[in-house]
Amino acid sequence: SDRNFRRLVAQEKKAWRRENGRGRRPAVWSPGEHLVIDWGVIAGVHVFCAVLAWSRVRFVRFAADEKAATTLALLAECFEALGGVPKVVLADRMGGLKGGVVANRVVPTAEYVRFATHYRFRPDFCEAADPQSKG
């Protein structure tokens, strides 16, 4: 019957999710708390992307390179466009912002720490080889 078939499908879905699920809950964002930043390349053009995690407001700019100075300038422009600064800026392990890695924790460069102190946000980095840690 249709009813038995739906029950069987629901049981199989539940079993599949249990075996193939991520094993943790997705991130829960708060308004104004996290800004997620990243670089990408489209047809040789570098693209800086910033997204407010809760509202999904996006900031996108094109650049010639992905150097630290360019990243910080675009981040400052992003704050101006948004009209404020979030509590935390979450980045992947960008070479221009990463001074090193100690015990699998990213140590930001001194320049990035000065920038973060000036704008009063906390720099945060994703876990290595874990795309889900970025939300």
What are the tens digits of pLDDT across the range 79-100? 999 999 999 999 988 888 999 9
Answer whether residue 59 shows pLDDT above 90: yes
Question: What is the Cα gyration radius of the chain?
Answer: 19
CB 84 within 8 A of CB 52: no
Q: What tokens appear for 88 in the block?
A: 């935390």
CB 27 within 8 A of CB 11: no
3-state secondary structure (DSSP) of residue 92: coil
Answer whether residue 134 shows pLDDT above 70: no
- For residue 83, the model assigns a pLDDT of 94
Answer whether residue 130 shows pLDDT above 70: no
**pLDDT tens for each residue of 28-52:** 788 989 999 999 999 989 999 999 9
Answer whether residue 104 shows pLDDT above 90: no
Does this model's pTM top 0.85? no
User: In a 10 Å sphere around its CB, with 0-12 CB exposed, 13-18 middle and 19+ buried, how is residue 124 labelled?
Assistant: middle
Query: What distance in Å separates the CA atoms of residue 123 and residue 98, rounded to the nearest whole number?
Result: 11
Answer whether residue 103 shows pLDDT above 90: no
3-state secondary structure (DSSP) of residue 51: strand
Task: Give residue 7's identity as a one-letter amino acid code.
Answer: R
Give the ranges where the chain is alpha helix by DSSP (H): 2-20, 68-82, 110-119
Task: Give residue 14's identity as a one-letter amino acid code.
Answer: K
Q: What tokens appear for 54 in the block?
A: 């809760």
